[in-house]
């Protein structure tokens, strides 16, 4: 593999890793607060459809982004209601909302546009366009680093950089702020947080809302950044890959970045079977590459590579002592 | 919160959940400018209005009975097996390998062998998540989700690269030999007086009904069933009583996987006569809704499976005769899971108002 091909693959890696990263960080907040969320997929799908539809109708990608966040927050609210207020089974709620999202996005898109559950293709200001970072052209001549900066780092859409910035931000929020400490505590031992006079319910709702916002960004990126429009089931299991990445990352922000980049890399090379064959001399079937994130997650879950310990109070509704 | 009488918990809670799901679906239909009443009658007419419609409804119901029972058995051991889809796909592989291995002379010989193949492959696919849960404490929900995706990738690979006959374009196995054809309801004497047109519902329906009875027998009439239920209610108490958690997790998941796998005799062997890509079509997931709706009892599962069979066949009819997308059934399915599985406390609270003990009438 020559340097130019490598840069192409890395460029695709970053593009494909972004929805995984945003969804993975979304899951991080919820799960760190003790609310399991397997509904990342559904929220992304809902957001992708809302963004695609509103961006097309208004011609503004920013309104599309806003709609995506609203759509995703609606689902997050139902999940919060089921798992916090009514103390229902969080896993079942997530599964249920994924099905609702899978169906309702098609129903809405079909009734609005009548194109078989798709939204019409987006153009111009209705989607996020590549941003050329400063000095990209000037530095392109510098050996090795120059092309890397120009090809891989520069030239992505707005939400890619938002995703990357979310990593240090999430680390700072979770580990350097009072809110983050409380959020992590409520996922480990809600009773202690309650004893300190802080509302468990409010903290958990806040965490679930942050999850909704980030899933909204992830979904908006799918339909307005990565692709130009919403298509039926367009998230194609990315919510679950993000969930896998979250476990792979052992519920830590920086590891989320590395895990999603790794899984994004698998998706990128799955698109270029010729590159694999030229590089390592054997052809790996594409389904094997598709399955790799899931297999790696099972390996991590099996405790073969370090142990993934989830937040202790995860999945358990909190009942205040009387 | 008021404790509900048993009958209300068993009958009213699922019915009210269903009603809530139906009401919200009706609003969704109104929201997209369709008529809910028209949709309902199209569904009823298409799924239940004729023997032909029933033939399809029962065909779907057969698959859902298997996957519903699978989820039920695991649920009793407080294991949420969300991997029914992957297990059903592997079951399909088992059926295909058995059916293609020999030139079977008659279905009476092919069916038992195919059932063994389906159950073994389904159970094998549940075995690794079960082992990881039992030995390593890895969450069964996450591992079974992962195994669904691994199963689908494996099946795509096998169908494209290994099992596809030379010269065939679509990723599927060769057609099974004629001796593996399962009689459909219109080919069975007496029943063919009712089902005059060719329908996909087949002899697997009766296998499914027998499985209902066997699961009931297992859960409520055997020592093993008691142990699974005890473990599900309280792991600590069960361990203290000398029940091995390793044994229960493994056995409950293997039975669950085998039941999901068995579904393949209906769709793969009974209907398509070859293994195609994504043969289970989400039936593994519907098993979750069926088990929740059926309150984890085989009789409830049977009724809920027929209900979902109606929903599936009716939904297909909607796609044919109206402009309502077929995805409506996914929405209803999701809402039923939501209300019966996650918002059940809300439904109970709503009902609790009516069952609050009345204050004693004051003496005059």
Counted domains in chain B: 1
> Does some domain include residue B220?
yes
Of the candidates A17, A19, A60, which has an alpha carbon nearest to the alpha carbon of residue A43? A19
Shortest alpha-carbon distance between residue B296 and chain A (Å): 14
Beta-carbon contacts of residue A296 (< 8 Å; ≥ 6 apart): A244, A248, A262
CB proximity under 8 Å: A 277-296 to B: 285, 287-288, 290-291, 294-295
Q: Are B259 and B70 in contact (CB under 8 A)?
A: yes
> Does some domain include residue B357?
no
Largest distance between two CA atoms of chain A: 69
**pLDDT mean across residues, chain A:** 89
Q: Using the beta-carbon criterion (under 8 Å), do A301 and B132 form an inter-chain contact?
A: yes
Shortest alpha-carbon distance between residue B293 and chain A (Å): 13
Q: What is the DSSP string of A163-213?
A: HHHHHHHHHHHHHHSHHHHHHHHHHH-HHHHHHTT--HHHHHHHHHHHHHH
Of B138, B153, B333, which is closest to A288 when you measure between CB atoms?
B153
> Does some domain include residue B303?
yes
> Does some domain include residue B9?
no
Cβ contacts (< 8 Å) between A43 and chain B: which residues? none
Cβ contacts (< 8 Å) between A82 and chain B: which residues? 338, 342-343, 346
**pLDDT mean across residues, chain B:** 90
B364 — pLDDT class (breaks 50, 70, 90): very low
Q: Using the beta-carbon criterion (under 8 Å), do A110 and B32 form an inter-chain contact?
A: yes
Give how far Cα A53 sits from Cα of A19, A72, B324, Å: 19, 14, 19
B329 to chain A, any CB pair closer than 8 A? The answer is: yes
ipTM computed for the complex: 0.90
Of A82, A107, A243, which is closest to B325 when you measure between CB atoms?
A107
Most confident option among A201-205, B29-33, B171-175, B358-362: A201-205
**Which residues of chain A fall short of a pLDDT of 50?**
none
SS3 A131: strand
Of the candidates B319, B259, B218, which has an alpha carbon nearest to the alpha carbon of residue B90? B259
A95 to chain B, any CB pair closer than 8 A? The answer is: yes
pLDDT in tens, B216-236: 999 999 999 999 999 999 989
Q: How many Å apart are CA A202 and CA B42, to the nearest integer? A: 45
Q: How many Å apart are CA B256 and CA B254, to the nearest integer? A: 5
Q: How many Å apart are CA B77 and CA B249, to the nearest integer? A: 7
pLDDT in tens, A33-87: 999 998 999 999 999 999 999 999 999 999 999 999 999 999 999 999 999 999 8
pLDDT (mean) for B277-295: 89
CB atoms within 10 A of CB A142: 13
Q: Using the beta-carbon criterion (under 8 Å), do B330 and A244 form an inter-chain contact?
A: no
* pLDDT in the model for residue A147: 81
Q: How many Å apart are CA B304 and CA B311, to the nearest integer? A: 10
A139 to chain B, any CB pair closer than 8 A? The answer is: no
The token duo for B290 is 């069926």
> Does some domain include residue B358?
no
For A292, phi then psi, to 5°, come to -55, -45
CB proximity under 8 Å: B 193-222 to A: none
Residue B199 sits in a domain whose CATH number is: 1.10.3470
Cβ contacts (< 8 Å) between B328 and chain A: which residues? 103, 107
Q: Which residue in chain B is spatially nearest to A105 when comparing CA positions?
A: B327
A90 to chain B, any CB pair closer than 8 A? The answer is: yes
B82 to chain A, any CB pair closer than 8 A? The answer is: yes
Largest distance between two CA atoms of chain B: 91
Q: Are B256 and B82 in contact (CB under 8 A)?
A: no
CB proximity under 8 Å: B 28-47 to A: 28, 32-34
* pLDDT in the model for residue A139: 78
The token duo for B303 is 């009724």
Cβ contacts (< 8 Å) between A301 and chain B: which residues? 132, 136, 138-139, 142-143, 146
Q: Is pLDDT of B362 > 70? A: no
* pLDDT in the model for residue B319: 84
> Does some domain include residue B325?
yes
Instruction: Select the residue from A103, A250, A290, A295 to test the B interface by mutation, using most B Cβ atoms within 10 A.
Output: A103
- Our CA angle for A214, A306, A15, nearest 5°, is 35
SS3 A154: coil
Q: How many Å apart are CA B285 and CA B219, to the nearest integer? A: 22
- Our CA angle for A84, A85, A90, nearest 5°, is 40
Q: How many Å apart are CA A272 and CA B230, to the nearest integer? A: 52
Q: Are B333 and B286 in contact (CB under 8 A)?
A: yes
SS3 A16: helix
Of the candidates A223, A277, A217, A225, which has an alpha carbon nearest to the alpha carbon of residue A242? A217
> Does some domain include residue B67?
yes
Q: Using the beta-carbon criterion (under 8 Å), do B28 and A298 form an inter-chain contact?
A: no
SS3 B45: helix
For A317, phi then psi, to 5°, come to -65, 145
For A97, phi then psi, to 5°, come to -65, -30
DSSP state of B4: P
Q: How many residues does chain A have?
A: 322
Q: How many residues does chain B have?
A: 364
Bridge partner residues of B172 (DSSP): B276
pLDDT in tens, B74-118: 999 999 999 999 999 999 999 999 999 988 889 999 999 999 999
* pLDDT in the model for residue A297: 80
Shortest alpha-carbon distance between residue B183 and chain A (Å): 34
Cβ contacts (< 8 Å) between B146 and chain A: which residues? 240, 244, 294-295, 297-298, 301
Shortest alpha-carbon distance between residue B134 and chain A (Å): 11
Of the candidates A294, A299, A271, which has an alpha carbon nearest to the alpha carbon of residue B86? A294
Of B80, B143, B338, which is closest to A298 when you measure between CB atoms?
B143
> Does some domain include residue B4?
no
Q: What is the DSSP string of A49-105?
A: HHHHHHHHHHS-HHHHHHHHHHHHHHHHHHHHIIIIIS---HHHHHHHHHHHHHHHH
Q: Is pLDDT of B136 > 50? A: yes
Most confident option among B14-18, B46-50, B256-260: B256-260
Sign for the pseudo-dihedral over CA of A142, A144, A147, A152: negative
Range of the domain at B193: 15-24+35-352
Bridge partner residues of B202 (DSSP): B184
Of A83, A90, A95, which is closest to B288 when you measure between CB atoms?
A95
């Amino acid at each position: 593999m020559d340097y130019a091909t490598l840069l192409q693959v890395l460029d695709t890696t970053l593009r494909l890793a972004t929805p995984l990263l945003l969804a993975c960080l979304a899951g991080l907040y919820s799960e760190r607060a003790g609310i399991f969320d397997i509904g990342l997929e559904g929220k992304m799908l809902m957001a992708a459809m809302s963004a695609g539809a509103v961006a097309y109708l208004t011609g503004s990608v920013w309104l599309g982004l806003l709609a995506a966040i609203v759509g995703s927050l609606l689902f997050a609210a139902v999940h919060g209601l089921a798992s916090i207020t009514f103390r229902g089974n969080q896993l079942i709620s997530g599964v249920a909302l994924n099905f609702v999202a899978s169906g309702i996005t098609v129903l809405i898109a079909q009734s609005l546009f009548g194109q078989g559950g798709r939204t019409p293709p987006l153009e111009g200001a209705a989607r996020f366009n590549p941003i050329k970072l400063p000095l990209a052209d000037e530095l392109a001549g510098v050996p090795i680093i120059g092309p890397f900066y120009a090809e891989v780092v520069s030239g992505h859409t707005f939400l890619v950089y938002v995703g990357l910035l979310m990593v240090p931000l999430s680390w700072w929020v979770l580990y350097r702020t009072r809110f983050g400490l409380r959020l992590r505590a409520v996922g480990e031992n809600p009773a202690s947080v309650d004893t300190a006079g802080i509302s468990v319910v409010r903290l958990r709702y806040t965490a679930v809302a942050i999850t909704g916002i980030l899933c909204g960004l992830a979904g908006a990126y799918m339909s307005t950044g990565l692709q130009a429009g919403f298509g039926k089931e367009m998230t194609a299991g990315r919510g679950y890959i993000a969930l896998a990445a979250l476990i792979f990352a052992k519920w830590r922000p920086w590891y989320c970045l590395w895990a999603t980049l790794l899984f994004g890399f698998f998706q990128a090379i799955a698109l270029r079977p010729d590159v694999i064959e030229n590089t390592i001399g054997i052809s790996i079937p594409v389904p094997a590459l598709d399955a790799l994130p899931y297999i790696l997650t099972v390996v991590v879950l099996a405790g073969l590579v370090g142990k993934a310990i989830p937040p202790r109070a995860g999945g358990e509704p909190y009942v205040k002592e009387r | 919160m008021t404790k509900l009488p048993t009958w209300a918990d068993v009958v009213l809670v699922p019915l009210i959940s269903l009603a809530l799901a139906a009401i919200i679906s009706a609003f969704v239909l109104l929201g997209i400018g369709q008529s809910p009443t028209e949709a309902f009658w199209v569904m009823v007419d298409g799924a239940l209005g004729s023997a032909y419609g029933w033939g399809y409804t029962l065909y779907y119901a057969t698959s859902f009975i298997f996957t519903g029972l699978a989820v039920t058995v695991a649920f009793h051991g407080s294991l949420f097996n969300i991997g029914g889809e992957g297990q059903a796909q592997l079951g399909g592989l088992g059926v295909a390998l058995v059916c293609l291995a020999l030139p079977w002379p008659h279905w009476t010989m092919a069916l038992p062998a195919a059932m063994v193949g389906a159950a073994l492959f389904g159970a094998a696919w549940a075995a690794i998540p079960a082992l990881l849960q039992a030995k390593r404490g890895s969450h069964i929900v996450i591992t079974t989700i992962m195994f669904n995706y691994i199963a689908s990738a494996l099946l795509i690979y096998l169908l494209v690269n290994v099992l596809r006959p030379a010269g065939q374009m679509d990723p599927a196995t060769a057609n099974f030999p004629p001796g593996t054809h399962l009689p459909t309801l219109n080919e069975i004497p007496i029943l063919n007086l009712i089902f005059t047109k060719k329908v996909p519902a087949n002899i697997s329906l009766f296998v499914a009904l027998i499985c209902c009875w066997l699961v009931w027998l297992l859960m409520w009439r055997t020592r093993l069933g008691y142990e699974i239920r005890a473990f599900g209610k309280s792991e600590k108490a069960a361990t203290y009583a000398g029940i091995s958690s390793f044994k229960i997790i493994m056995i409950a998941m293997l039975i669950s996987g085998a039941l999901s796998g068995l579904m393949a005799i209906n769709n793969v062997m009974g209907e398509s006569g070859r293994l195609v890509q994504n043969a289970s079509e989400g039936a593994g997931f519907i098993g979750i809704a069926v088990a929740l709706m059926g309150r984890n009892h085989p009789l409830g599962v049977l009724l809920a499976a027929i209900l979902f069979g109606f929903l599936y066949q009716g939904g297909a009819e909607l796609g044919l005769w109206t402009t309502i997308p077929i995805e409506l059934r996914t929405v209803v399915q999701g809402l039923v899971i939501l209300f019966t599985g996650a918002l059940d406390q809300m439904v109970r609270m709503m009902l609790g108002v009516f069952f609050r003990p009345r204050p004693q009438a004051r003496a005059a």
